[in-house]
Amino acid sequence: MSVPFLDLRRGYHGIRDEILLAVERTLESGWYVLGPEVAAFEREFAEYCGTRHAVGVGSGTDALHLALRACGVKPGDGVVTAPNTAVPTVSAIVAAQACPVFVDIDPRTMTLDPERLRARLSTPAAGPRVTAVIPVHLYGGPADMDPILEVAREHGLMVIEDAAQAHGVEYRGRRAGSLGQAGCFSFYPTKNLGACGDAGMVVTNDADVAERLRMLRNYGEEAKYRSRTDGFNSRLDELQAAILRVKLRHLEEWIAERRRWARLYAELLADAPVTLPAEPALGRHVYHLYAVRSARRDDLQNYLQSRGIATIVHYPTPAHRQPAYVALGYDEGSFPEAERACAEVLSLPLYPEISEAEVRRIAEVVRSARRPIPEA
């Protein structure tokens, strides 16, 4: 049996009629960008996240970039994030003309370590003045937000959540995206709530931030052909919004399925030679990715590949060691926990429509790697 990492057609086939109805309704409406579907999706997604406002934009990267600007991050400001994030977290900081500042992770959650954040901010260091922090809810597990928010309050920082992988994540009863000044989502097709193209959203409780975002995404316009600020073109289109509205109605059942497969993996892999993702004590993991860890990750990946099981490494190179960002001056060894995580993580296939037989097969092969891993 060969097992793909992900098959998006299975999800589509499950809701094909609803999607096609929504697409037909939108095409017939003759309104294709920033119209009633976007407005309705913004209302519905804000309600889902427990925030007062939501502003649809072109991608998750744009959500972060525009949120930084809307929250008042200025050119040259330092913005802290974790080194093991997806590169777009960092590109968004640079797009906002700010300077990425990295702080190492807590190895248990693989997200920004609040104590290391406190230490970094309390130690006078050369470099830019830090004005904001972007905790990343990596793989669909919550960052430890309360201590991060506390440190941010002590140091007057804005908190902008990277919730690109975290639709429906909960932290002490609150939804990801609703915890800081702004929460940024990606609806890239592979995400837990995925469009059929690029799309993103910023949610916030701050009416001024929402208003600035609405201008920034649309040429800086406060009214038709009247630009109050410099701006961009990063608009959510009607087709994506209509499709996302359909999918939002299914999100909770899909999260329940993801959690069911994660429980089955945990049961089947209890004695396997890998470290399993930990269920958060304080919230709900939504298992966007099921990232196990192994000191012999590359051997394990090759072994699984040789038995027809596709896996992906999220992410092999920490952001501070990417060619694009070496000029920031962080050497190898600067962030040992994030670097170790990047060397050890391996995402196993997990999505709502994966079959039980596939999960059992994957687990069986991972378990069989307990013996010395043979050459692929």
Our CB check for ligand PLP shows the closer of 38 and 136 to be 136
The yes or no reply on residue 180 touching ligand PLP (CB under 6 A) is no
The yes or no reply on residue 164 touching ligand PLP (CB under 6 A) is yes
* Total number of residues shown for the chain: 376
The yes or no reply on residue 161 touching ligand PLP (CB under 6 A) is no
Neighbours of 310 (CB within 10 A): 16
The tokens describing 266, both together, are 């945990």
Which one of residues 42, 144, 161, 162 is an interface residue with ligand PLP (CB under 6 A)?
162
The yes or no reply on residue 347 touching ligand PLP (CB under 6 A) is no
In the chain, alpha helices (H): 8-14, 16-29, 36-49, 60-70, 87-95, 114-122, 145-155, 207-216, 238-248, 251-268, 297-306, 336-344, 356-368
- Only segment of 158-166, 223-231, 261-269, 328-336 that touches ligand PLP (CB under 6 A): 158-166
The yes or no reply on residue 215 touching ligand PLP (CB under 6 A) is no
Give min distance, CB of 134 to ligand PLP, in A.
9
Which one of residues 188, 232, 265, 335 is an interface residue with ligand PLP (CB under 6 A)?
188
Q: Which of residues 55-114 bind ligand PLP (CB under 6 A)?
A: 59-61, 85-86, 88-89
Give min distance, CB of 307 to ligand PLP, in A.
28
DSSP letter for each residue of 276-343 = PPPPPTTEE---SSEEEE-TTHHHHHHHHHHTTB--B-S-SS-GGGSGGGGGG-PPTTSSHHHHHHHH
Residue 257 φ then ψ, to 5°:
-65, -45
The yes or no reply on residue 170 touching ligand PLP (CB under 6 A) is no
Residues contacting 133, CB < 8 A, separation 6+ = 79, 80, 81, 112, 117, 148, 152, 157, 158, 159, 160
Distances (CA, A) of 226 to 153, 223, 368: 36, 5, 64
- Give yes or no for a contact between 130 and 158, defined as CB atoms under 8 angstroms apart: no
The yes or no reply on residue 186 touching ligand PLP (CB under 6 A) is yes
Neighbours of 155 (CB within 10 A): 16
The yes or no reply on residue 369 touching ligand PLP (CB under 6 A) is no
Our CB check for ligand PLP shows the closer of 86 and 210 to be 86
The yes or no reply on residue 192 touching ligand PLP (CB under 6 A) is no
The yes or no reply on residue 181 touching ligand PLP (CB under 6 A) is no
Q: Which of residues 120-139 bind ligand PLP (CB under 6 A)?
A: 136
The yes or no reply on residue 280 touching ligand PLP (CB under 6 A) is no
- Only segment of 66-74, 113-121, 162-170, 300-308 that touches ligand PLP (CB under 6 A): 162-170
Beta strand 53-57 pairing with 200-204? antiparallel
Give min distance, CB of 219 to ligand PLP, in A.
20
**Which residues are near ligand PLP by CB under 6 A?**
59-61, 85-86, 88-89, 136, 162, 164-165, 186, 188, 198, 200
